[in-house]
Structure 1
Amino acid sequence: MLVMRPATAADRPAAREMISARCAWMEERGMPSWRARLDDLVSHCDNRYGDVWVLEKDGQRIIGRTTLQEHGPPWGWTEQEKAEPSLYMSTSVTDPAFRAIKPGRLMAWWAVDRAAELGLTWVRRDCLLPELAKYYLTQGYDLVREADFKGHRLFMMAREAGRLDLSELLHT
């Protein structure tokens, strides 16, 4: 059984293990990884905002984590877009050992459903890698635009919020 739930301080060791596994997977493929931000990402498990969520398998193993916030970064979005009610999904990391069950897609779909449940209009996210942008397209997100931030090309992505029946995939 898969469950999305708020992260807690008790999740820190499991989150570290999962993020480290993803870092190794990325590094083996010559991709930039989260390694430099590992301690920071782990520390967010019990941040005061309660905006970090984990995907847990069978009540025992964390196989994903993401952050959902009501406001995204100030770059890459128009003033009108920033004013629209939305969730901003960031720092999503999954355990590569569970690729077959597509935890990243499940977390992305859960965010779309959660935004609709909260009465919001959009789920937005961004990424640096073209390969990741292509992957987000397969999750139903659209490329809104490419933006420049401090010399980096960002892919600004969005998907309209909507109720999704995830009951066969996820217990909420």
Structure 2
Amino acid sequence: MIITPAEPHDVATLLSFREEAAAWLRGIGSDQWSRPYPADKLLATIEANTVFMLRDGHTTAGTITLTPDAEEGLWTDEELSEPSMFINKLTVAREYAGQNIGGRLLDWAGDRAHHAGGRWLRLDAWTTNEALQRYYLAQGFAHVRTVHEGDAVNGGPRVSGWLAQREARPSAHDFTDRTPKPVRLPFAA
């Protein structure tokens, strides 16, 4: 499998991935990703070179967003002073479920964060999705805290505030990596 940067034409694939994941999540009783994601925001993340696609021939097996930018209001100033990369929107096509694609994408992200000089690979997960939280714990992440305060944009409770991290480290993810070399993080030694 080959990992590449996403391209603008991948927006439709990414939106369908999210719809597929949301339907599966509904089926297991989670409201995660129940709101449609704006295509223009997705395109902006692609243009910022933070979205990556895992391709198996002509099929997209998974996707991950990896950025040096933390979501506002989640991490402390002290935490933000440590070189870190943040993952979100990790999604695996249902036909690839059960093959540890998500775990290998997390390993790839940790490897990339390490090579960018990062100390931590961090994430914020859905606060009510305990199965997802257990998944990340099983992948070596440690729970930092859960942020519940209101979301300034939507005026409701924060839905994605379960914070976790693991050390950024080299990894043998076994993907053919066709992504550009990562940019060195600020504060990196």
| Alignment TM-score, normalising by the size of structure 1 | 0.86
Match of 1:50 in 2: 49
- The partner residue of 2:103 within 102, 105, 124 is 105
Partner SS for 1:125: strand
- Is the deviation greater in 99-108 or in 35-44? 35-44
Q: Does 1:139 align with 2:158?
A: no
Alignment RMSD (CA, Å)? 2.1
Q: Percent identity?
A: 23
* Structure whose residues are more often strand by fraction: 1
* 1:115 to 1:48, Cα distance in 2 relative to 1, 3 A: same
Distance (whole Å) between structure 1 residues aligned to residue 20 and residue 66 of structure 2 = 22
* Structure whose residues are more often helix by fraction: 1
Distance (whole Å) between structure 1 residues aligned to residue 44 and residue 13 of structure 2 = 10
Report the CA distance between 1:7 and its aligned residue.
0.3
Contact 1:44 1:52 in 2 (8 A): no
Distance (whole Å) between structure 1 residues aligned to residue 44 and residue 6 of structure 2 = 5
* 1:116 to 1:46, Cα distance in 2 relative to 1, 3 A: closer
Distance (whole Å) between structure 2 residues aligned to residue 45 and residue 16 of structure 1 = 14
Partner SS for 2:147: strand
One-letter amino acid of the structure 2 residue matched with residue 137 of structure 1? L
Match of 1:6 in 2: 5
- The partner residue of 2:92 within 81, 91, 94 is 94
Partner SS for 2:148: strand
Contact 1:144 1:157 in 2 (8 A): yes
Contact 2:69 2:86 in 1 (8 A): yes
* Equivalent residue pairs, number: 168
- Is the deviation greater in 43-52 or in 138-147? 43-52
Deviation string 1:29-87 (CA, Å, 9 cap, x unpaired) is 221142423443884377321111111112x1112122111121232322111111110
Partner SS for 1:27: helix
Match of 1:116 in 2: 114
One-letter amino acid of the structure 2 residue matched with residue 125 of structure 1? L
Deviation string 1:68-111 (CA, Å, 9 cap, x unpaired) is 11121232322111111110111222212211212211111111
Q: Where do 5+ consecutive residues of structure 2 fail to align?
A: 151-156, 178-189
Report the CA distance between 1:114 and its aligned residue.
0.5
Partner SS for 1:36: coil
Distance (whole Å) between structure 1 residues aligned to residue 164 and residue 40 of structure 2 = 22
Partner SS for 1:145: strand
* 1:103 to 1:39, Cα distance in 2 relative to 1, 3 A: farther
